[in-house]
Amino acid sequence: MRAVVQRSGPAKCQVDGKITGQINAGLVVFISVDPEDTLDDVEWMGNKIAGLRIFSDEDGKMNLSLLDLVNEKEEGSEIGVLSISQFTLHGNARKGFRPSFVGAAPPEKALEFYTSFNDDLRNRGLIVEEGIFGATMDISLVNEGPVTILIDSKHKF
């Protein structure tokens, strides 16, 4: 699995002008599934993202995870994950100018693993909002920091 994780203020996903998912703050995660991924990759990715320490503590150091914030949150300050399936993260543009997407899992597997990934995050106690798998989506977000992290379960970065 491959992910682009962005620390975010308000974020939302719209399809055909209708909001399908939104958060007040937290993480926007663009996620792509590799054909060779297993459920171990789903669990590894869920653990990594839930525990990623990219939020500031009281000293201004990036030392808190989304789980830390959820456990400390005030009533009414909804924070969570906006999860967006994005097969183009497995695009390969090494040759020519038109990317190849043969490195992405077929849609059936990608949907299954995207759903499992979102369920994994929910099982860890996080609120997860979603885009619509396979749809053309309009994503709006406020990237705070900016903080953007690349994560890959095969290469362990």
The residues annotated as belonging to the active site are 86-88
Q: Which amino acid is at 124?
A: R
Alpha-carbon torsion angle 62, 64, 65, 68, nearest 10: -160
CA distance 79 to 69: 8
* Cα 73 off chain centre by: 20
DSSP sequence for 114-134: HHHHHHHHHHTT--EEE--TT
Crossing angle between the packed helical segments 107-123 and 39-51, to the nearest 10 degrees:
40
Q: Which helix (H) or strand (E) holds 48?
A: helix 39-51
- Cβ–Cβ contacts within 10 Å for residue 97, how many? 5
**Assigned token pair, 147:** 């903080």
